[in-house]
Amino acid sequence: MNQRIYLDHNATTPVDPRVLEAMLPYFSTHFGNAASATHGLGCDAAGASEVARLQVAGLINAESKDIIFTSGATESANLAITGAARHRREHGRHLVTVATEHRACLEACEQLAAEGWELTVVGVDRHGQVAIKDIETSLRADTVLISCMFANNEIGTLHDIAGIGRLAKERQILLHVDGAQALGKEPIDVLAQGIDLLSLSAHKLYGPKGVGALYVRRRDPRVRLVPLMHGGGHERGLRPGTLNVPGIVGFGQACAIAREEMATEQSRLGGLKERLWRALQRIPGVIRLGHPEQCLAGTLNVVFTGINAQRLLVETPMVAASLGAACTSVTPKPSHVLRAIGLAWRQAEGAVRLSLGRWTTADEVDQAAAALTAGVERQRGLHPAAGSENAPRPT
């Protein structure tokens, strides 16, 4: 019971030993610069990077030339949103996004709004899912880009990306998708789902931190971007700088593993999540957030009504999890995702995100549930009324 149980895989994942093994030679014996084409070490690095590009592309049904390597999904999203909007500024200056997007995407859109673009932020239902009809209503003749995440990082809800993709194609509007939380967990097919730009990150997928990718469609239509940085012709001229070869090799290996194991792992995690929820359901006043069916297999976000979630996790150190209500350094603020699905301030303060991963076991799930239950009971012992069965529900 003294061992820490890691249930924060949506924040980051441990590097898979198979990924680390693939990376290690590129720190030492194969240390060349992938741009050095005049000698073997450089060619080895370039070749390994191209293999990784194929592996990343293979997981999303893309071509290797569609993949641009970056430092992570935040950079990818900024390049996609800002780069596409600026390139298409003569076609229109209206952008559409969704209220529950990651801050990287929301703030990129907000920055463009500050520069003169018009921004429509579409709301979601109580499960955190956006309705295609609401996106359709928001579109205008001058709309150039829709940005919508595949899976929500806080509550796990999945959006109908294929439906949004069809709508975007009918209107000749580009679709950017934040795929950071979905990659390797849900099937992604950029062709079938009509995705023009897809932001990805390795560290959500048992790969290393500091490396990501952006899928940029090259045909039907060819998507063009204005780069964020300048300094060389690397990555089709969209992302200058020396390639992070060890990280890229690790990202590729992580994608190759996920492609083989995703279906089995999805089923296993779904079973563990339901096991965890059954145990937590015994706590009076507990509320489950997110879509009951269209949700990431390993993500469970719950509200312990009347409980301060930050205090609960501090006093339950064996469970490594995240708050559903993020705070700034000055003023406590509920997560924008939880507010968007209708939670009141006090309810959001009791939200905990539990995200399971590749090495989570049934025994760990049981221990975590017991520890959290005991922690809630301790808090409610000080405030008995907090566990009332009549506690308010999200609207």
pLDDT the model gives residue 243? 95
Q: 332: Cβ–Cβ under 8 A, 6 or more apart, which residues?
A: 325, 349
- Between CA 251 and CA 116 the distance in angstroms is 37
What is the torsional sign of CA 187, 22, 206, 211?
A: negative
Could you give the C-alpha distances from 345 to 127, 350, 392, in angstroms and in order? 17, 9, 12
**Cα distance between residue 150 and residue 181, in whole Å:** 8
Strand order in the sheet with 118-122: 67-70, 212-216, 197-201, 174-178, 143-149, 94-98, 118-122
In tens, the pLDDT along 26-76 reads: 999 999 999 888 898 999 999 999 999 999 999 999 999 999 999 999 999
DSSP H helical segments within the chain, as ranges?
Answer: 17-23, 40-60, 73-87, 103-114, 132-138, 161-171, 245-280, 309-314, 336-340, 345-348, 362-382
Within 295-393, where are the H helices?
A: 309-314, 336-340, 345-348, 362-382
Q: What is the DSSP letter of 25?
A: G
Q: Is 393 helix (H, G, I), strand (E, B) or coil?
A: coil
222 DSSP assignment: P
Any idea which residue has 């992580």 for tokens?
254
Q: Supply the pLDDT for residue 3.
A: 83
Q: What confidence score (pLDDT) does residue 186 get?
A: 98
Active site residues: 327
Hey, what amino acid is at 331?
T
Question: Given the DSSP bridges, would you call strands 67-70 and 212-216 parallel, antiparallel or unpaired?
Answer: antiparallel
pTM reported for the whole predicted model? 0.94
Closest Cα partner for 294 from 133, 185, 176?
185
DSSP category for residue 327: B
**Prior bond of 221 cis (ω within 30°):** yes
Q: Rg of the chain's alpha carbons, rounded to an integer?
A: 22
Among positive and negative, which fits the CA dihedral 234, 235, 239, 244? negative
Task: Give the DSSP letter of residue 14.
Answer: P
Question: In DSSP terms, which residues pair with 295 in a beta bridge?
Answer: 157
- Three-state secondary structure readout of 274-311: HHHHHHHCCCCCEEEECCCCCECCCEEEEEECCCCHHH
How far is 242 from 244, CA to CA, in rounded Å? 6
Torsion angle of C-alpha atoms 29, 30, 33, 34, degrees rounded to 10: 180
Q: At what angle do helices 245-280 and 40-60 cross, to 10 degrees?
A: 30
Place of tokens 């090259």: 218
Show the domains of the chain with their CATH numbers: 5-12+262-387 (3.90.1150.10), 17-257 (3.40.640.10)
Do residues 127 and 165 touch, judged by C-beta distance below 8 A? no
Q: What's residue 385's pLDDT?
A: 47
Tens-level pLDDT at each residue, the chain (395 residues): 458 999 999 999 999 999 999 999 999 999 999 988 889 899 999 999 999 999 999 999 999 999 999 999 999 999 999 999 999 999 999 999 999 999 999 999 999 999 999 999 999 999 999 999 999 999 999 999 999 999 999 999 999 999 999 999 999 999 999 999 999 999 999 999 999 999 999 999 999 999 999 999 999 999 999 999 998 778 888 999 999 999 999 999 999 999 999 999 999 999 999 999 999 999 999 999 999 999 999 999 999 999 999 999 999 999 999 996 444 434 467 799 999 999 998 899 999 999 999 999 999 999 999 999 999 999 998 665 444 443 444 43
